[in-house]
Amino acid sequence: MVQRKPRQADIVLLMLTSGSSKAVCLTHHQILTDIAGKYSIYELPEGPSFLDWIRLDHVAAIVEIHLQALFARKDQIHVQAPDFLANPLQNPLAILRAALQGLEAQSSPCNWDLSCLKYIASGGEANVVKTCDVVSQLLSQCSAPVHVIVPGFGMTETCACFIFKTKCPTYNKERSLEFTSVGACMPCINMRITEGSNNETIPASFSSDGWFKSGDKGPIDETGYLTLHGRAKEAIIINGVKYNPHGIETALDESEIPGLTPSFNCCFSYFPAGCETEEICIVFLPSFAPVDTVTRVETVDAISKSVMMATGSKAQVFPFDRHQLLLTAYQKGGYKACKDVNNETISQYRAVTHQNPQNELERQLLDIEIVFGHPEAAD
């Protein structure tokens, strides 16, 4: 067996990027430089530990948490995904939601001591300023830092986050932003806006002068902070995971759902007001008559199930006729009317056919549905 001293340019990890089968090569030099840069953003005192509930095959878990904790000589706690699957109500998001509801309901000052909580790293998708503000205020009542939430942005190619915002939500509220700025680059890395404007970074690999093209859109303000406005490439991001809308459309075609005209469906995402992540919307050309309520409901349910199996998220689904599918953006008022009619028709049907949970398993499933943000399941 031949042994040799590792070189900085040696590849140490091959990491799959989110939502694709593309592997990114990460070298010793990249990872060590990145970790030093991350740690300079938030140098931790003695005592704190790192907590992670992302699988270690994700770049954020392996570099942002595991290797940074080793670098900082800190304890690290990794919660296994099967623990959440065995008890979905113990999902960190559900726990946080329940804790916040409990804090908001308290009439007396919070008696929790969260002085040990230094920061909560939040990346993967847009952060709503209103939510960050509410969470920060509630946690600060329990002795957590005022700027406890640290939004960030990164990719597998950059060893996870390389841009951080350490003054959230103060900076964002001062500028009346709906979504938080992701901040400025850590030491050792730079960013720039291309395409001849301060609006967009161009997609695809590398520029002729060696810059990596991320494919993200957004301005850099006079303070050097970046605020993202979407991506040049089509991508849907649900709870931090990227999905290709064309893949979802293909899955629907292959499902051969009765009531769905093959090849006549469109998948896209939108960000509803007050929500914390994008939602999927499916519009389709129905093969059933408009008055056939039973087939309408069965088709919508089948499409919803297919999307749920592919993405783990609930979709807004409604049919369009051929004329509506050809509407321009200037005629999109017709979309809302169609959606409202479809939702009202389905709601009336469900009200007539509604049944209460018949056993303990059904009651537990209903509780999970409500906890994860679908209170209409109780109707």
pLDDT single digits (tens) 290-308: 889 999 999 999 999 999 8
Instruction: Calculate mean pLDDT across residues 105-109.
Output: 61
Q: What percent of the chain has pLDDT over 70?
A: 79
CATH code for the domain in which residue 331 is found: 3.30.300.30
Measured CA to CA, the distance from residue 68 to residue 54 in angstroms comes to 15
In this structure, are 77 and 169 located in the same domain?
A: yes
Q: Which of 40-49, 152-161, 195-204, 321-330 has the lowest mean pLDDT?
A: 195-204
Q: What is the mean pLDDT of residues 321-343?
A: 62
Tell me the two tokens of residue 48.
């704190």
Residue 177 sits in the same domain as residue 290: no
182 and 36 in a common domain: yes
Shared domain check, 248 and 166: no
Quote the CA–CA distance of 75 and 151 in Å, as a whole number. 23
Exposed (0-12), middle (13-18) or buried (19+): which is 327, by Cβ within 10 Å? middle
Model confidence pLDDT, tens digit, residues 31-80? 999 999 999 988 788 888 999 888 888 899 999 999 999 999 999 999 87
Is 222 part of any domain?
A: no
**Is 230 within a domain?**
no
Q: Place 184 in a pLDDT band, splitting at 50, 70 and 90.
A: very high
- The beta strands (E) that lie in 114-206 are given as 120-122, 149-155, 160-164, 184-185
> Does some domain include residue 156?
yes
pLDDT at 367 over 50: yes
Look up the domain containing 322 and give its range: 237-378
27: which DSSP letter? Answer: E
Please tell me which residue, 66 or 86, carries the higher pLDDT value.
Answer: 66
Q: How far is 5 from 14, CA to CA, in rounded Å?
A: 20
pTM (2 d.p.): 0.65
- Claim to verify: residue 248 and residue 183 sit in the same structural domain: no
Q: In 75-148, where do the E strands start and end?
A: 76-78, 120-122
Instruction: Evaluate if residue 331 carries a pLDDT over 50.
Output: no
280-283-284-290 Cα dihedral, nearest 10 degrees: 130
* Contacts within 8 Å (CB) and 24+ apart, 261-270: 261/285, 261/286, 261/287, 264/325, 265/303, 266/325, 267/236, 267/307, 268/236, 269/236, 269/237, 269/238, 269/245
289 in Cβ contact with 345 (< 8 Å): no
What is the domain count for the chain?
2
Question: Is 229 part of a structural domain of the chain?
Answer: no
Phi and psi for 109 in degrees, rounded to 5? Answer: -55, 150
Between CA 288 and CA 299 the distance in angstroms is 9
CA-based nearest residue to 123, from 146, 167, 154: 154
CATH number, residue 44:
3.40.50.12780
Order across the sheet with 260-270: list the strands: 260-270, 279-286, 315-319
Tell me which residue of 42, 45, 61, 43 sits closest to 164, measured CA to CA.
Answer: 42
What 3-state class would DSSP assign to 132? helix
Q: What are phi and psi of 216, to 5 degrees?
A: -100, 150
Tens digits of residue pLDDT in 209-261: 888 888 788 889 998 999 887 776 667 877 767 787 878 888 888 888 999 98
Give the rounded distance of the alpha carbon of 106 from its chain centre: 29
